[in-house]
Amino acid sequence: MGKVAVGLAVGVAVAACAVATVVVGRRIRSRRKWRRVVGVLKELEQSCETTVGRLRQVVDAMAVEMHAGLASDGGSKLKMLLTFVDKLPNGSEKGTYYALDLGGTNFRVLRVKLEGTRSSTLEHDVYRQAIPQDLMTGSSEDLFDFIASSLKEFVEREGDISELSLDRRRELGFTFSFPVKQMSVSSGTLLKWTKGFSIEDMVGREIAGCLENAMTRKGLNMRVAALVNDSVGSLALGHYHDTDTVAAVIIGTGTNACYLERTDAIIKSQGLLTTSGGMVVNMEWGNFWSSHLPRTLYDIELDADSPNPNDQGFEKLISGMYLGDVVRRVIVRMSQESDIFDPISSKLSMPFILRTPLIAAMHEDDSPDLEEVRRILRDNLEIPDVPLKVRKLIVKVCDVVTRRAARLAAAGIVGILKKIGRDGSGGIAGGRSRSDQKMRRTVVAMEGGLYTGYTMFRDYLHEALTEILGEDIAQHVIIKVTEDGSAMGAALLAASHSSYPVDSVQLL
């Protein structure tokens, strides 16, 4: 009996050792897998690093590329397009003006009444209209006749129009958010359609003229006083409220910037004459690129999988369209290194399923157990409950990707300020030191949901501005949010250019 007991004891001990060995082995393998996952995060942090030194290199590269783009067409990744807008609204405008904002599957018509004195709130009426699908692929005449009919209905619903004499043409600012070759402040030819439009007979034709012809056919006495894009509209609205506004940046789904440049600095158009000595330049800065921009394997894969590889490189690093998908790609890599997301959801392999608003919600989840992160993983990615430490890891990934984007956006803004001598250094060719010149108050108009709706993005951008410029200079640089610059700004530009019988800008 004793021998049996001893045998059983030995057997149990052997079994226990075997179980312990299995458990320890699993723990070791689990720790190794976790270390690999943490290694993915550390690798991401290193690849996305944006030290102040690197950001200042991006600043210099932006300013240099701006200069090159102004010197010759095709001389830079930045297109530096002339807008022929040489007079920004300043609050002295008076009268009733209109705006048409066409940039997608619907358009908006707006009417604003200006009293000749700057107002913090502008009295305006708005009308929205969806565009039937067949008109997006039909003929230019059908599309613009539809728009002109809607414009006429909007005008006919006006109340008191006594200030408009019967022989005075109403004036319209037209925001047309498609690639355009600008010919004057009020005219330009369509280069190509995007956003689902495909009207072949319109490509290469003058846009404002097509609209004016349609308005004439519909019996509407109205002229296009300004043809602009949305960033120029934001600058106009910002300048109306604050005349120290020198640039505008849009950071939303996409991104762009424009600024006020001296005409004598626009070398590629040496015969350019304006009444003000300046002109708004549309940078199309989404296409900016520099070897100093921190790029990861995930960015390279995203670019290769995109419809426009090797194009819009800066936009793919900083805009809301892409941040969520970069995070998704990092999570995919982590799932390949470990079983922390087992079973792996098929949704995790779907591009752009993780939109940037979801990234913001996870990043800014301040609940102790990160319940919002848990909910988004479950509801949007169909990833079942994961441990808290994994949820914390995902929040950190969101932080790294968002911080890089915001700090690069800040460097882009300072690049603009450097080019025009508003960064405290005297400009791209300036030789003065920060100590021997007085820094002027400088306002940058800002629009777009990534900045306005994502607190952490906004905070990181401001933090980087201060780091790059230094506190003494940064206190003179103010970021001001504009709302609906694409429409309101267009109406204001119609007002600021309405006194010209012909375009004030010409090429000799």
Catalytic residues: 108, 177, 230
Pull the structure tokens for residue 364.
């800014």
**Among the residues of 420-482, which ranges form H helices?**
449-453, 455-469, 471-474
* Dist CA 88 CA 237 (whole Å): 9
Which residues, including other chains, have CB under 8 Å from residue 230's CB and lie 6 or more apart?
A: 101, 103, 175, 177, 250, 256, 447, 485, 486
Tokens 């008109």 belong to 135
Is the dihedral angle over the CA atoms 83, 468, 293, 456 positive or is it negative? negative
What is the full DSSP assignment across 94-149?
EEEEEEEEESSSEEEEEEEEEESS--SS--EEEEEEEPPGGGGSS-HHHHHHHHHH
Q: Do residues 285 and 58 make contact, with C-beta atoms less than 8 angstroms apart? A: no
CB atoms within 10 A of CB 273: 13
Contact 121, 242 (CB under 8 A): no
How many CA atoms, within 13 angstroms, populate the side-chain half-sphere of residue 112? Answer: 28
The closest alpha carbon to 228, from 379, 99, 403, 401, belongs to 99
Report the 10 Å Cβ neighbour count for 390. 21
As beta bridge partners, residue 98 has 111, 172
Rounding to the nearest 10 degrees, give the CA dihedral for residues 143, 181, 220, 155.
90
- Which amino acid is located at 74 in the chain? G
d(CA 100, CA 126): 10
* Calpha distance 93→113 (Å, rounded): 10
The CA distances from residue 353 to 193, 343, 349, 350, in Å, are 26, 18, 9, 6
Q: What are phi and psi of 148, to 5 degrees?
A: -65, -40
How many of the other CB atoms lie within 10 Å of CB of 120?
Answer: 5
Query: How many Cα atoms are found within 13 Å in the side-chain-facing hemisphere of 311?
Result: 7
Question: HEC string of 309-356?
Answer: CCCCHHHHHHCHHHHHHHHHHHHHHHHHHCCCCCCCCHHHHCCCCCCH
The vertex-203 CA angle with 494 and 490, nearest 5°, equals: 15
